A and B are shown apart, each in its own frame.
Chain A
C-alpha cells in the first residue's frame, strides 16, 4: 500500500532561517507527490506538486524535488518568514489510488 512518513515536529525557527521538512514515501506504482499547507484556522491548501521523478515543484519560495532513488520529497525554503508558521502535510497519490495518502503533518513556528 501507499504511505508517507514526515519528520516529526514541532519545528521552531527564527525568521530568515533555512527550512527543511523531510518526507519519504512508499508507493505501489509511480506516485504524484504534493505538499499542502494549513494556516491556523483554515483548510489545507495545495502548496506545490511534482508528478514524475526529478521534477521540482515550487511556490511562494518553497521547493521540493521528487527523488525516486531515495523515495523522498523534502520541502525546503531558503529564508522563512513569520507568516510561514503553519502545519505542512506531505501527500501522494497513484494511478490506482482512490484517495490521497497524507503524512502526519509538521507544525512549523517561525519566531521574529
Chain B
C-alpha cells in the first residue's frame, strides 16, 4: 500500500498545453508539499499545504496552481507549459510542518 502516490509517473506534452499531476497520501498527515527537482538533482520547494491551507507559495510562475480538495490530496495544475518546466516533480507529506517528509515516486515532465 503506497504511502504517497502521484500520477502520472511520466508526462510528455507539447508547449502551450495544460496538464495536471495528482497526489494522494494515506498516512494521515496534515502537511503536503510540491517540490521541483532539476537536472542537477537540486530540490526546490514550490508549495505546501497544512490542513488544506496554503502555507508556502514560493516564487513560481502563476501558471502553476496547487489545489488541495482535502488533507489527503494535493494536485498541481500547470497552464501553458514551457520548455523550462521540464523537470521531475515530487509530492511529499509530513505529519506536521516541522517533521520529516515522505516522498512520492516523482513525475518526470518533459515539454517538447
Contacts and interface: CB of A to CB of B under 8 A. Distances in A.
B98 A46 contact: no
Interface stretch (B11-19, B41-49, B61-69, B78-86): B41-49
B99 interface: yes
A43 B100 contact: no
A42 interface: yes
B105 A89 contact: no
Contacts of A89: 43
Contact of A99 (B41, B48, B103): B48
Interface residues of A, number: 25
Contacts of B87: none
A42 B98 contact: no
B41 A49 contact: no
Interface residues of B, number: 23
B42 to A, nearest CB: 6
The majority secondary structure among interface residues of chain B is strand
Contacts of A107: 41
B89 to A, nearest CB: 11
B34 to A, nearest CB: 11
A87 interface: yes
A102 interface: yes
B61 to A, nearest CB: 20
Contacts of B92: 44
B104 A99 contact: no
Nearest to A9: B41
Contact of A44 (B56, B94, B98, B103): B103
Interface stretch (A14-22, A64-72, A76-84, A90-98): A90-98
Contacts of A94: 98
Contacts of A24: none
Given A32-B98, A43-B104, 12 more contacts: A42-B105, A44-B90, A46-B100, A94-B98, A99-B45, A99-B48, A99-B97, A100-B100, A102-B43, A104-B40, A105-B41, A105-B42
Interface of A: 32, 34, 36, 38, 41-46, 49, 87, 89, 93-100, 102, 104-105, 107
